[in-house]
Protein backbone atom coordinates (compact mmCIF):
# COMPACT_ATOMS: atom_id res chain seq x y z
CA UNK A 1 0.00 0.00 0.00
CA UNK A 2 1.39 3.42 -0.91
CA UNK A 3 0.21 7.03 -1.00
CA UNK A 4 0.07 7.96 -4.69
CA UNK A 5 -1.26 11.49 -4.15
CA UNK A 6 -2.41 13.67 -1.30
CA UNK A 7 -4.10 17.04 -0.83
CA UNK A 8 -5.20 19.26 2.01
CA UNK A 9 -8.02 21.82 1.98
CA UNK A 10 -7.19 24.49 4.57
CA UNK A 11 -9.77 25.10 7.28
CA UNK A 12 -12.07 27.99 6.44
CA UNK A 13 -11.26 28.10 2.71
CA UNK A 14 -14.09 29.42 0.54
CA UNK A 15 -15.27 26.21 -1.09
CA UNK A 16 -17.27 27.81 -3.91
CA UNK A 17 -14.12 29.70 -4.95
CA UNK A 18 -12.18 26.45 -5.04
CA UNK A 19 -14.93 24.92 -7.18
CA UNK A 20 -14.68 27.81 -9.68
CA UNK A 21 -10.88 28.00 -9.69
CA UNK A 22 -10.70 24.37 -10.72
CA UNK A 23 -13.40 24.85 -13.41
CA UNK A 24 -15.56 22.05 -12.06
CA UNK A 25 -18.99 21.65 -13.65
CA UNK A 26 -21.24 19.72 -11.28
CA UNK A 27 -24.26 21.77 -10.13
CA UNK A 28 -25.19 19.18 -7.49
CA UNK A 29 -22.19 20.51 -5.56
CA UNK A 30 -24.27 23.47 -4.42
CA UNK A 31 -26.88 21.21 -2.82
CA UNK A 32 -24.32 19.39 -0.67
CA UNK A 33 -23.63 20.01 3.00
CA UNK A 34 -20.16 21.24 4.00
CA UNK A 35 -18.83 17.74 4.75
CA UNK A 36 -19.84 16.45 1.30
CA UNK A 37 -18.56 19.62 -0.40
CA UNK A 38 -15.17 18.97 1.23
CA UNK A 39 -15.14 15.29 0.23
CA UNK A 40 -16.24 16.14 -3.28
CA UNK A 41 -13.65 18.91 -3.76
CA UNK A 42 -10.88 16.85 -2.18
CA UNK A 43 -11.54 13.98 -4.60
CA UNK A 44 -11.79 16.41 -7.55
CA UNK A 45 -8.39 17.89 -6.69
CA UNK A 46 -6.86 14.44 -6.25
CA UNK A 47 -8.17 13.16 -9.58
CA UNK A 48 -7.92 16.32 -11.70
CA UNK A 49 -6.64 15.60 -15.20
CA UNK A 50 -6.90 11.80 -15.04
CA UNK A 51 -7.63 10.62 -18.58
CA UNK A 52 -10.01 7.77 -17.81
CA UNK A 53 -11.76 9.55 -14.96
CA UNK A 54 -15.41 8.79 -15.54
CA UNK A 55 -15.15 5.21 -16.76
CA UNK A 56 -17.22 3.00 -14.42
CA UNK A 57 -14.96 0.92 -12.18
CA UNK A 58 -15.36 -1.44 -9.25
CA UNK A 59 -11.72 -1.59 -8.17
CA UNK A 60 -11.53 1.76 -6.36
CA UNK A 61 -12.91 2.12 -2.83
CA UNK A 62 -13.94 5.33 -1.08
CA UNK A 63 -13.11 5.28 2.65
CA UNK A 64 -13.87 8.32 4.78
CA UNK A 65 -12.83 8.91 8.40
CA UNK A 66 -13.74 11.59 10.90
CA UNK A 67 -14.60 12.26 14.51
CA UNK A 68 -17.75 14.31 14.04
CA UNK A 69 -19.28 12.70 10.95
CA UNK A 70 -22.19 14.78 9.70
CA UNK A 71 -22.70 16.68 12.98
CA UNK A 72 -22.75 20.17 11.44
CA UNK A 73 -25.54 19.15 9.11
CA UNK A 74 -27.37 17.35 11.95
CA UNK A 75 -27.55 20.75 13.66
CA UNK A 76 -28.95 22.32 10.48
CA UNK A 77 -31.61 19.62 10.15
CA UNK A 78 -32.50 19.78 13.85
CA UNK A 79 -33.54 23.42 13.40
CA UNK A 80 -36.14 22.35 10.83
CA UNK A 81 -37.46 19.12 12.32
CA UNK A 82 -40.22 20.36 14.61
CA UNK A 83 -42.05 22.59 12.15
CA UNK A 84 -40.97 21.89 8.57
CA UNK A 85 -38.54 18.93 8.46
CA UNK A 86 -36.39 19.33 5.39
CA UNK A 87 -35.88 16.13 3.35
CA UNK A 88 -32.98 17.72 1.48
CA UNK A 89 -31.17 18.39 4.76
CA UNK A 90 -32.17 15.02 6.26
CA UNK A 91 -30.47 12.97 3.52
CA UNK A 92 -27.17 14.56 4.53
CA UNK A 93 -27.57 13.46 8.18
CA UNK A 94 -25.61 10.28 7.43
CA UNK A 95 -21.83 10.14 7.79
CA UNK A 96 -21.49 8.01 4.64
CA UNK A 97 -23.28 10.27 2.14
CA UNK A 98 -19.88 11.85 1.42
CA UNK A 99 -18.68 8.45 0.12
CA UNK A 100 -21.80 8.11 -2.04
CA UNK A 101 -21.31 11.57 -3.56
CA UNK A 102 -17.73 10.71 -4.58
CA UNK A 103 -18.84 7.30 -5.93
CA UNK A 104 -21.66 8.84 -7.99
CA UNK A 105 -19.47 11.58 -9.44
CA UNK A 106 -16.71 9.18 -10.47
CA UNK A 107 -18.88 6.10 -11.26
CA UNK A 108 -17.11 4.06 -8.59
CA UNK A 109 -19.01 0.82 -8.04
CA UNK A 110 -16.56 -0.50 -5.47
CA UNK A 111 -16.65 -0.42 -1.69
CA UNK A 112 -17.71 2.77 0.07
CA UNK A 113 -17.44 3.05 3.86
CA UNK A 114 -17.46 5.68 6.59
CA UNK A 115 -15.67 5.27 9.92
CA UNK A 116 -15.69 7.50 13.00
CA UNK A 117 -12.81 7.53 15.46
CA UNK A 118 -12.57 9.13 18.89
CA UNK A 119 -9.70 11.34 17.75
CA UNK A 120 -7.44 11.87 14.75
CA UNK A 121 -5.51 8.59 14.69
CA UNK A 122 -3.41 7.96 11.57
CA UNK A 123 -2.32 4.54 12.76
CA UNK A 124 -5.90 3.34 13.17
CA UNK A 125 -6.94 4.95 9.85
CA UNK A 126 -4.18 3.28 7.84
CA UNK A 127 -4.90 -0.06 9.53
CA UNK A 128 -8.53 0.12 8.38
CA UNK A 129 -7.45 1.09 4.85
CA UNK A 130 -5.03 -1.83 4.73
CA UNK A 131 -7.82 -4.14 5.93
CA UNK A 132 -10.05 -2.87 3.11
CA UNK A 133 -7.53 -4.22 0.59
CA UNK A 134 -8.44 -7.73 1.78
CA UNK A 135 -11.26 -7.36 -0.76
CA UNK A 136 -9.49 -8.76 -3.83
CA UNK A 137 -11.39 -6.46 -6.21
CA UNK A 138 -10.11 -3.30 -4.48
CA UNK A 139 -6.80 -2.09 -5.94
CA UNK A 140 -6.95 1.60 -4.98
CA UNK A 141 -8.85 3.88 -2.65
CA UNK A 142 -9.78 7.50 -2.13
CA UNK A 143 -9.17 7.98 1.59
CA UNK A 144 -9.96 11.04 3.65
CA UNK A 145 -9.76 12.31 7.19
CA UNK A 146 -12.44 14.93 6.73
CA UNK A 147 -13.75 16.27 9.98
CA UNK A 148 -16.09 19.27 10.20
CA UNK A 149 -16.16 20.90 13.60
CA UNK A 150 -18.37 23.67 12.23
CA UNK A 151 -19.32 25.08 8.83
CA UNK A 152 -16.05 27.02 8.74
CA UNK A 153 -13.66 24.94 10.80
CA UNK A 154 -12.39 21.59 9.60
CA UNK A 155 -9.54 19.23 8.92
CA UNK A 156 -9.55 17.92 5.35
CA UNK A 157 -6.75 15.61 4.29
CA UNK A 158 -7.35 13.28 1.37
CA UNK A 159 -5.25 10.63 -0.34
CA UNK A 160 -5.21 8.40 -3.36
CA UNK A 161 -3.91 5.08 -2.10
CA UNK A 162 -2.73 2.22 -4.27
CA UNK A 163 -2.55 -1.38 -3.13
Q: Residues 61, 135: contact at Cβ < 8 Å?
A: yes
CA–CA separation, 68 and 35 (whole Å): 10
Nearer Cβ to another protein (10/82): 82
76 vs 159, beta carbon nearer another protein? 76
Least Å from the CB of residue 6 to another protein: 23
10 vs 27 by CB, closer to another protein: 27
Q: From the CB of 4, what's the least distance to another protein, in Å?
A: 21
Binding region for another protein (CB under 8 A):
56, 58, 62, 67-69, 71, 74-75, 77-78, 81-82, 85-87, 90-91, 93-97, 99-101, 103-104, 106-118, 121, 124, 127-128, 130-132, 134-135, 137
Helix 97-106 crosses helix 34-47 at what angle (to 10 degrees)? 40
The span from the CA of 28 to the CA of 150, in Å, is 21
Strand partners, 153: 150
Residue 104 neighbours by CB distance under 10 Å: 13
Task: Compare residues 13 and 100 and give the one whose CB is closer to another protein.
Answer: 100
Amino acid sequence: MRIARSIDIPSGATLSNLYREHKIEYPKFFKMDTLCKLGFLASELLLEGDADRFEPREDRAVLMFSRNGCMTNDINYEKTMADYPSPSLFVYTLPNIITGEVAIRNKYKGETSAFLLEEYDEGRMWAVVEEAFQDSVTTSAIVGWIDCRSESEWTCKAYLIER
